[in-house]
Chain A
Amino acid sequence: MIEFTDLTKSYAGRLPVLDSVTMKIDQGEFFFLSGVSGAGKTTVFRLLLMLELPEQGNIRFNGADILRYSPAQRARHRRGIGTVFQDQDNRLLANESIEENVALPLRIAGLSGRKMRQRMGTLLEQVGLAERRKELVSGLSGGEKQLVSIARALVFGPRVFFADEPTGNLDRSMAFKVMELLRRIHDSGSTVIVATHDLSLIRSFRSRTLLIKDRKIQEVRLINRAETAAAR
């Protein structure tokens, strides 16, 4: 479903973040992308979302070479991918209500009226914020903001769901709630990719894990302490 071939990405004046990386993700997988802070996990997401372009290599999504997409095709491509980031303060419209934030992609897609309200209602029920839909996002806790982001990311029923450090700033119970939601999204048939450096979280899920280390991606099984220590 998603294929990176010989992909290199660097930022101005710095060593490459990713150097000739090749990886493949199949439809319906739940897997982790791990590595230390600054290893390039977010860069992988940004490349897949076409918010960055690689210096070399190919990215295929459902068989299509997305690097050849026109700006309009890129916009449609992004609608098929749900994204959740760690720093929700920068990813939500703070001065808008919960429902306005969730409705944003629907408005962009040209939906309005009853259809939009129905879809919004279903999603807010799903994340447990239906009763608080009129509240401003600026007044929510970090975990609640994460739930709003998840609701917004699910608007178009995405086939792929990216979560970048989704539990990074959350307490244990909220982190559990968020991970449960991600599991449900996976159960509904979506491919879920979670970027995290929280190795205990990875161990608890026992899913396939790709580790970004020294600008390369390698597959690892983080089951026991020795493997965890090696990954560090």
Chain B
Amino acid sequence: MYLISGIPRAIRNLRRNWHASLNSILIVASSLALLGMVGLLYVNVVHISEIWLSNTTVSLFLKPSLGERQRHLLLRRVQDHPLVARAVLVSPEEGLRSLAAKLGADNGFLTGAEKEGLPYTIDFEVFVDYRKRIGSLAESFDKLNGVEEVVYAERVLGKAKLFFDLTKGLGVFFAGMILISFCLIIANAARLSLYSRRQEIEILHLSGATRGYIRSAFVVEGVLLALIGWARALVLVWFAFQLVIAGLTWNDFTMVLKQLSVFFPWEVLVGALLVLVGLGALSSYLAVNRVLKAIEP
């Protein structure tokens, strides 16, 4: 009940102290926009790596010295494995054609490429249910006589592990720092607002207001600051995302990134809003409670 009665008082207070309120909103929005951009980078790294990892194809690069019989024996061995759904032997010519098809318009540099430069490969797909065992399966095939190298998405991603770990670590660090500063900004805004209205607080005390009644307006103010800050940050991050996406036209790789890039899913946005509103309310509550206890014995 106090919170409902606090809404008009909080809006009136924000309007009355609009200069200080605007400052707080801008600082909160900037911090959250920074957090949003780091978060969006992380979301996209995870999203793109997941798409890559969902590929269940493994390629066995065969040694050039293998004869046709040995290649077919190896193919049969792979096909007979219970985890393998489908396996094909790909000749250098087929490999070249397939690569040219994948590159599309940019396949010019393949002109004159020697088919002898490519090895025979056995490409196979693992049953989707067993995709978690793709690593151990690949390792066991790697030990087979006649196999030069095994290539699969997880191994390629493994090489980029440092980048992912760094992105994740930085993301967590930034998120922590920005959320702490968010709480401090909201708490400070509530404290300043309360100090600037000490006389009004005394009038409320004299008029029989409980701490809960006085506190409610400040808690609602904290929630409103978080809400407006979140909305402004969302707009900023969305525009920044559109700008970056529009610029990803340098080459095929960036074009693929452009195709695969995603904005925050709505669940994440709603979750972030709820967390920020909760933190805003809690920060104001704690800050105001402390001052009120000091004002009223």
Whole-angstrom distance from the CB of A87 to the nearest CB of chain B?
A: 10
B208 touches A108 (CB 8 A): yes
Contacts of A177 in B (CB 8 A): none
CB within 8 A of B208: which of A52, A93, A109? A109
Contact B208 A105 (CB under 8 A): yes
B297 and A91 contacting across the interface, CB-CB below 8 Å: no
Q: A90 at the A/B interface (Cβ < 8 Å)?
A: yes
Is the pair A71, B211 in contact by a Cβ cutoff of 8 Å? yes
User: When the two chains form their complex, are residues A91 and B210 in contact, meaning their CB atoms are under 8 A apart?
Assistant: no
- A108 x B297 contact (CB < 8 A): no
Number of residues from B at the complex interface, CB < 8 A: 19
Closest to A95 in B: B16
Q: How far is the CA of A51 from the CA of B209 in the complex (A)?
A: 12
CA distance A152 to B1 in the complex (A): 23
Nearest-neighbour CB distance to chain A for B209, whole angstroms, equals 5
Q: Which residues of chain B from 1 to 17 have any CB-CB distance to chain A below 8 Å in the complex?
A: 1, 5, 16
Find out whether the CB atom of A75 lies under 8 angstroms from the CB atom of B200.
no
Q: Of B16, B200, B204, which is within 8 A of A108 by CB?
A: B204
Interface string of A40-54 (1 = CB under 8 A from B): 000000000111110
14 further A-B pairs in the complex, CB-CB below 8 A; given A51-B205, A51-B297: A49-B205, A71-B296, A72-B211, A75-B205, A75-B208, A78-B206, A91-B203, A91-B206, A92-B203, A104-B207, A107-B5, A108-B204, A108-B207, A110-B5
Confirm or deny: B213 has a beta carbon within 8 angstroms of a beta carbon on chain A. Answer: yes
Q: How far is the CB of B239 from chain A (nearest CB, A)?
A: 38
Instruction: Verify if A76 is at the interface (C-beta below 8 Å from B).
Output: yes
Min CB gap A135→B, angstroms: 18
A interface, CB within 8 angstroms of B: 49-53, 71-72, 74-76, 78-79, 83, 90-93, 95, 104-105, 107-110, 152, 156
Decide yes or no whether B251 CB sits under 8 A from chain A.
no
**In the assembly, what is the distance between CA of A148 and CA of B91, in Å?**
97
- Residue contact B206 to A72, C-beta cutoff 8 Å: no
A21 CB to closest chain B CB (Å) equals 18
Q: Which residues of B contact A105 (CB under 8 A)?
A: 207-208
In contact, A52 and B297 (Cβ under 8 angstroms): yes
In the assembled complex, B259 has its CB within 8 A of some CB on chain A: no
Instruction: Show 19 A/B contacts (Cβ-Cβ < 8 Å), sorted by A.
Output: A49-B206, A50-B297, A51-B296, A71-B296, A72-B211, A72-B212, A75-B205, A75-B209, A75-B213, A78-B206, A90-B202, A91-B202, A92-B203, A104-B203, A104-B207, A108-B209, A110-B1, A110-B5, A156-B208
State the CA gap A52–B295 with chains docked (Å): 9
A201 smallest CB distance to B (angstroms): 23
Q: Give every chain B residue within 8 A of A79 (Cβ-Cβ).
A: 207-208
Complex interface: chain B residues within 8 A of A108 (CB) = 204, 207-209, 213
Q: Is B136 an interface residue (CB 8 A)?
A: no
- A104: nearest residue on chain B (CB-CB)? B207
What is the minimal beta-carbon distance from A100 to any residue of chain B, in angstroms?
11
B199 at the interface (CB under 8 A from A): yes
Give CA–CA (A72, B215) in the complex, Å: 13
